[in-house]
Structure 1
Amino acid sequence: MPEIRCASLLMLLVAGTAQAAEPGLVGKIEQAARAQLARQAEASALAEPEFTITVVNPRAAPACRQPVSVEPVDTRSAARMRFAVQCRDTPGWRYEYIVRAKVSAKVAVTAGPVAAGQLLSDDDLVIERRDISSLSDTIGVAAAVGQASRRSLRAGEVLRQSQLAAPILVKRGEPVVMLARVDAIEVSTAGEALDSGAQGSVVRVRNVANGRVVRMRVTAAGTVEPVEVALTR
């Protein structure tokens, strides 16, 4: 009888250990997923991100004599991520797990209708917490203000970077100032833009004084600076 009782207690202990191991593994996967989402949120400058994470149908894994590693395999969509869990024993094992996450953050939302080409101001936008699990390019108010909408937007629409474009600062056929700086010396001359361009874009400009066409970089409204050649009068 004592032997039977000891064997029964041992079986219960082993069973309890196996059951306890599963939540530990799931916890490690959830921890890795949360860390990955936090990195992505930081890279996207999300404001106050929050995550709800679920490991889908987690399978039981064999015992491993050393700590298992959890690595991201595919995290492009928060709604369906894949993580690999690996045991480096000999022989070892490697299983993949599906993780679904809901991501919310405070993002820029249109306060009212926005027309195509409209330059956004603070009055056009509000900050709201929204579910952005299926969105990858949301934007904050500070980054959106001053940009132009590529298309008309409805009121209450979550603003995305792909919906915006930098405003055109130089327009084709209009006069521009061709500006060059060398140390403390600044030289400027009149030019004519042959292309339209936003901040930082490269356009062709005709020097009014000598007719030469050069490539210039747009630095401000109506102002360009040389890209490849020095500017001369």
Structure 2
Amino acid sequence: MSLTLLLAPGLAGAVAGAGGTSDKLLAQIQDTARRHLLRQAENAGLREPLFDVEVIRSAKPVPACGEPVQVEGIDTRTPSRMRFAAACRTDTPWRIEFVVRAHVSASVAVAVAALPAGKPYAAADLTLERRDVTATPDPVSDLERAVGMTGRRALRAGDVLRESLLAAPLLVRRGEAVSIVVRREQIEISVAGEAMEAGARDAQVRVRNVSTGNIIRARVVGPAMVEPVGTSLSTQSPE
């Protein structure tokens, strides 16, 4: 995936407060924070992320260091309040912690109109909009990823779609008539069954063979279609 780092206009050197921290060290901390945010955005698959980063100056003077100061993230889980440490590892070492506040925006999937829970999403149901996602866990930026999935809860128009709220649509429902299909080379056998559990694609569910009454474990392979897990249509005794 190609990812470009964008910075909010006029905020390339934003800092807050006053103190003894040099502008050079502040810029180093800010750059380290941006790289952390960029990695997080890339891992999350965010489209066109933009960061507004603010470093809070230390209230105490920063001692001189005879070698380049090392900056590392201590806690970067919450962009709105991250912690970084600047350290000098000379004969007179020192270590000072800094708070970094960031706002993150990206092009993410939002609901065009109200969408009920459990309804498979169509392409027309969703659109990409730039939103502040600083406090939004796992927003979805890939519309193709969401189309065909269902929502675990209802969405209002303009709600941001979240990865954890997506679910694969059920292809088999409990009590539904299904086809139990066995394929061997060029031969395909299909018998009638009844689903005893609901399942999405690739889920394993219990299915009753209507002709024998036997209960088998089967994998969902399509709408109202399953295939036995193993090679037999009657691997278990009837319940």
Smaller-chain TM-score bracket: 0.7 to 0.9
Task: Show the counterpart of 1:218.
Answer: 220
Q: Counterparts of 1:1-233 in structure 2 under 5 Å?
A: 22-59=22-59, 60-140=61-141, 141-180=143-182, 184=185, 187-190=188-191, 191-227=193-229, 229-232=230-233
Paired with 2:222 and 2:213, the residues of 1 have a C-alpha distance of: 23
Q: Report the 3-state secondary structure (helix = DSSP H, G, I; strand = E; otherwise coil) of the residue aligned with 2:194.
A: strand
Paired positions, count: 213
Paired with 2:187 and 2:83, the residues of 1 have a C-alpha distance of: 55
One-letter code aligned to 1:36: H
Higher alpha-carbon Rg = 1
Paired residues of 1:138 and 1:161 also in contact (CA < 8 A): yes
Paired residues of 1:26 and 1:58 also in contact (CA < 8 A): no
Task: Show the counterpart of 2:14.
Answer: none
- What is the root-mean-square deviation in Å for CA atoms of aligned residues? 2.5
Give the TM-score normalised by structure 1.
0.80
Per the TM alignment, residue 22 of structure 1 is displaced from its structure 2 partner at its CA by 1.5
One-letter code aligned to 1:121: A
Per the TM alignment, residue 118 of structure 1 is displaced from its structure 2 partner at its CA by 1.8
The structure carrying a bigger helix percent of its residues is 1
One-letter code aligned to 1:215: R
Paired residues of 1:174 and 1:192 also in contact (CA < 8 A): yes
One-letter code aligned to 1:44: A
Per the TM alignment, residue 135 of structure 1 is displaced from its structure 2 partner at its CA by 0.8
Paired residues of 1:177 and 1:188 also in contact (CA < 8 A): no
Change (3 A) 1:20 1:226: farther
Change (3 A) 1:73 1:174: same
Per the TM alignment, residue 93 of structure 1 is displaced from its structure 2 partner at its CA by 2.3
After the TM superposition, which of the residue ranges 130-139 and 170-179 deviates more from structure 2? 170-179
- Identity between Structure 1 and Structure 2 (%): 45
Paired with 1:188 and 1:89, the residues of 2 have a C-alpha distance of: 75
Paired with 2:187 and 2:45, the residues of 1 have a C-alpha distance of: 37
Paired residues of 1:111 and 1:125 also in contact (CA < 8 A): yes
